[in-house]
Structure 1
Amino acid sequence: MRLDKFLKVSRVIKRRTLAKEVCDRGQVEVNGRPAKAGTEIKPGDVLAINFGHRLLRLEILSVQENVPAKLAAELYRVVEDRVT
Protein backbone atom coordinates (compact mmCIF):
# COMPACT_ATOMS: atom_id res chain seq x y z
CA MET A 1 0.00 0.00 0.00
CA ARG A 2 1.17 3.54 -0.71
CA LEU A 3 2.40 5.53 2.26
CA ASP A 4 -0.02 8.44 1.74
CA LYS A 5 -2.98 6.08 1.56
CA PHE A 6 -1.92 4.27 4.74
CA LEU A 7 -1.64 7.56 6.62
CA LYS A 8 -5.20 8.41 5.58
CA VAL A 9 -6.74 4.94 6.17
CA SER A 10 -5.10 4.70 9.61
CA ARG A 11 -6.32 8.24 10.35
CA VAL A 12 -2.89 9.45 11.39
CA ILE A 13 -3.43 12.27 8.87
CA LYS A 14 -6.97 13.30 8.04
CA ARG A 15 -6.80 13.70 4.25
CA ARG A 16 -4.75 11.91 1.60
CA THR A 17 -3.78 15.16 -0.13
CA LEU A 18 -2.40 16.47 3.17
CA ALA A 19 -0.53 13.18 3.69
CA LYS A 20 1.02 13.58 0.23
CA GLU A 21 2.10 17.15 1.01
CA VAL A 22 3.71 16.08 4.30
CA CYS A 23 5.63 13.33 2.46
CA ASP A 24 6.70 15.70 -0.34
CA ARG A 25 8.12 18.13 2.25
CA GLY A 26 10.39 15.37 3.59
CA GLN A 27 8.67 15.12 6.97
CA VAL A 28 8.14 11.34 6.80
CA GLU A 29 10.72 8.58 7.05
CA VAL A 30 10.23 4.85 6.54
CA ASN A 31 12.79 2.68 8.32
CA GLY A 32 15.10 5.68 8.77
CA ARG A 33 15.01 6.85 5.15
CA PRO A 34 13.10 9.83 3.74
CA ALA A 35 9.96 8.58 1.98
CA LYS A 36 7.80 9.87 -0.82
CA ALA A 37 4.02 9.51 -0.92
CA GLY A 38 4.23 6.53 -3.29
CA THR A 39 6.59 4.49 -1.12
CA GLU A 40 5.22 0.99 -0.61
CA ILE A 41 4.87 0.03 3.03
CA LYS A 42 4.31 -3.31 4.74
CA PRO A 43 3.80 -4.64 8.26
CA GLY A 44 6.95 -4.28 10.34
CA ASP A 45 8.00 -0.96 8.79
CA VAL A 46 8.64 1.93 11.18
CA LEU A 47 7.36 5.39 10.22
CA ALA A 48 8.73 8.62 11.68
CA ILE A 49 6.53 11.66 11.08
CA ASN A 50 7.74 15.14 11.99
CA PHE A 51 4.80 17.45 12.73
CA GLY A 52 6.95 20.51 13.42
CA HIS A 53 7.48 20.38 17.18
CA ARG A 54 6.14 16.84 17.51
CA LEU A 55 7.82 13.60 16.44
CA LEU A 56 5.59 10.55 16.03
CA ARG A 57 7.17 7.15 15.46
CA LEU A 58 4.86 4.26 14.52
CA GLU A 59 5.35 0.56 13.81
CA ILE A 60 2.97 -0.75 11.16
CA LEU A 61 1.12 -3.84 12.38
CA SER A 62 -1.33 -4.35 9.51
CA VAL A 63 -2.06 -2.91 6.07
CA GLN A 64 -5.72 -2.88 4.99
CA GLU A 65 -7.58 -0.99 2.27
CA ASN A 66 -10.66 -0.02 4.29
CA VAL A 67 -10.98 0.11 8.06
CA PRO A 68 -13.78 1.45 10.29
CA ALA A 69 -12.72 4.50 12.30
CA LYS A 70 -12.95 2.57 15.58
CA LEU A 71 -10.41 0.00 14.36
CA ALA A 72 -7.98 2.39 12.63
CA ALA A 73 -5.64 2.61 15.63
CA GLU A 74 -5.12 -1.17 15.48
CA LEU A 75 -3.17 -0.80 12.22
CA TYR A 76 -0.14 0.62 14.04
CA ARG A 77 1.63 0.79 17.39
CA VAL A 78 3.03 4.06 18.72
CA VAL A 79 6.74 3.56 19.41
CA GLU A 80 7.50 7.17 20.35
CA ASP A 81 5.47 10.37 20.64
CA ARG A 82 7.47 13.35 21.88
CA VAL A 83 7.37 17.10 21.73
CA THR A 84 10.69 18.73 20.83
Structure 2
Amino acid sequence: MKEGQLYAGLDLGRAQDHSVLAVIKQVEDQQQLIHCHQFPLKTSYGNVIGYVKVLCDRWNQVHKVLWTRLEWETTSWRI
Protein backbone atom coordinates (compact mmCIF):
# COMPACT_ATOMS: atom_id res chain seq x y z
CA MET A 1 0.00 0.00 0.00
CA LYS A 2 1.34 3.44 -0.91
CA GLU A 3 2.26 5.88 1.81
CA GLY A 4 -0.20 8.70 2.36
CA GLN A 5 -1.72 10.91 5.01
CA LEU A 6 -4.42 9.66 7.36
CA TYR A 7 -7.38 11.80 8.39
CA ALA A 8 -9.95 10.83 11.00
CA GLY A 9 -13.51 12.10 11.29
CA LEU A 10 -15.37 11.67 14.57
CA ASP A 11 -19.10 12.25 15.06
CA LEU A 12 -19.98 12.23 18.75
CA GLY A 13 -23.38 10.85 19.66
CA ARG A 14 -24.64 9.40 22.88
CA ALA A 15 -28.17 8.37 23.77
CA GLN A 16 -30.04 8.52 20.45
CA ASP A 17 -27.20 8.62 17.90
CA HIS A 18 -24.12 6.44 17.80
CA SER A 19 -20.64 7.93 17.94
CA VAL A 20 -18.80 7.01 14.74
CA LEU A 21 -15.13 7.20 13.78
CA ALA A 22 -14.00 7.01 10.16
CA VAL A 23 -10.39 7.13 8.95
CA ILE A 24 -9.40 7.83 5.37
CA LYS A 25 -6.03 7.56 3.69
CA GLN A 26 -5.19 10.17 1.09
CA VAL A 27 -2.60 9.32 -1.53
CA GLU A 28 -2.15 12.07 -4.10
CA ASP A 29 -5.72 12.89 -5.25
CA GLN A 30 -7.40 9.66 -4.09
CA GLN A 31 -9.04 8.86 -0.77
CA GLN A 32 -9.70 5.41 0.64
CA LEU A 33 -11.77 4.51 3.72
CA ILE A 34 -9.46 2.32 5.80
CA HIS A 35 -11.30 2.18 9.14
CA CYS A 36 -14.86 2.75 10.33
CA HIS A 37 -16.14 2.06 13.85
CA GLN A 38 -19.63 2.64 15.25
CA PHE A 39 -19.75 2.73 19.05
CA PRO A 40 -22.70 1.31 20.99
CA LEU A 41 -25.31 3.79 22.18
CA LYS A 42 -24.49 5.46 25.48
CA THR A 43 -20.73 4.92 25.12
CA SER A 44 -19.07 7.62 27.22
CA TYR A 45 -17.14 10.36 25.47
CA GLY A 46 -14.10 9.34 27.51
CA ASN A 47 -14.18 5.82 26.06
CA VAL A 48 -14.63 7.18 22.53
CA ILE A 49 -11.70 9.59 22.91
CA GLY A 50 -9.61 6.80 24.45
CA TYR A 51 -10.29 4.61 21.40
CA VAL A 52 -9.29 7.45 19.07
CA LYS A 53 -6.07 8.04 21.02
CA VAL A 54 -5.11 4.34 20.96
CA LEU A 55 -5.74 4.20 17.20
CA CYS A 56 -3.73 7.39 16.56
CA ASP A 57 -0.87 6.14 18.74
CA ARG A 58 -0.87 2.74 17.02
CA TRP A 59 -0.81 4.17 13.50
CA ASN A 60 1.35 7.18 14.40
CA GLN A 61 0.41 8.72 11.03
CA VAL A 62 -2.92 10.45 11.64
CA HIS A 63 -2.51 13.97 10.27
CA LYS A 64 -5.68 15.46 11.71
CA VAL A 65 -8.82 14.44 13.61
CA LEU A 66 -11.96 16.41 12.76
CA TRP A 67 -14.96 16.05 15.03
CA THR A 68 -18.52 17.26 15.42
CA ARG A 69 -21.22 16.87 17.99
CA LEU A 70 -24.76 17.38 16.78
CA GLU A 71 -27.49 18.26 19.24
CA TRP A 72 -31.15 18.21 18.34
CA GLU A 73 -33.13 21.16 19.57
CA THR A 74 -36.86 21.59 19.13
CA THR A 75 -36.47 23.87 16.12
CA SER A 76 -33.08 23.20 14.56
CA TRP A 77 -29.81 21.30 14.47
CA ARG A 78 -26.93 22.84 16.35
CA ILE A 79 -23.30 21.97 15.64
Scaled by the length of structure 2, the TM-score of the pair is: 0.29
Q: Higher strand share goes to which structure? A: 2
Which one has the largest radius of gyration?
2
- Bigger relative CO (Cα 8 Å, ≥ 6 apart): 2
